[in-house]
């Protein structure tokens, strides 16, 4: 059974920090691109950060560049999101995502999601 389980969310004041973790099981973690998405009330789900399965360039939403850092530990099947200098507009449900695109055209892509964890930034 595929599992993605987020932890580390909660309530924090503006300017504070949180570190989200996502533990994975049931698939070959090391070959998947891992991402964090978020969805705020009234908004569409948004890509926050992505780290490829191989050594490559991480990607960040413009709104979080310089404040958030994504990392992964393949030995622990875990991806992290370090969030610093948090702002009220960062308030959202944060989702962990695993994605695999096979090299062969026509092969099935695989895409898994965690259940989400609430991050609230408020005074």
Concatenating the DSSP letter of every residue in 68-110 gives EEEEEEGGGTEEEEEE-S--GGG-EEEEEEEEE--SSTTSPPE
The pLDDT assigned to 89 comes to 97
The pLDDT assigned to 103 comes to 83
Ranges of residues in the chain whose predicted pLDDT is under 50:
none
The pLDDT assigned to 56 comes to 79
Pick from 37, 27, 110, 41: nearest CA to 70: 37
Residue whose tokens read 């908004």: 43
d(CA 40, CA 34): 20
């Amino acid at each position: 059974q595929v599992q993605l389980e987020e932890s580390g969310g909660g309530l924090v004041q503006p300017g504070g920090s949180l570190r989200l973790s996502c533990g994975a099981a049931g698939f070959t973690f090391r070959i998947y691109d891992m991402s964090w998405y978020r969805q705020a009330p009234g908004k569409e789900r948004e890509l926050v950060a992505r780290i490829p399965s191989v050594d490559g360039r991480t990607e960040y939403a413009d709104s979080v560049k310089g404040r958030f850092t994504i990392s992964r530990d393949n030995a622990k099947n875990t991806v992290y999101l370090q969030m610093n200098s948090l702002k009220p507009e960062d308030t959202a449900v944060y989702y962990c995502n695993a994605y695999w695109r096979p090299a062969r055209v026509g092969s099935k892509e695989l895409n898994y999601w965690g259940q989400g964890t609430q991050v609230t930034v408020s005074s």
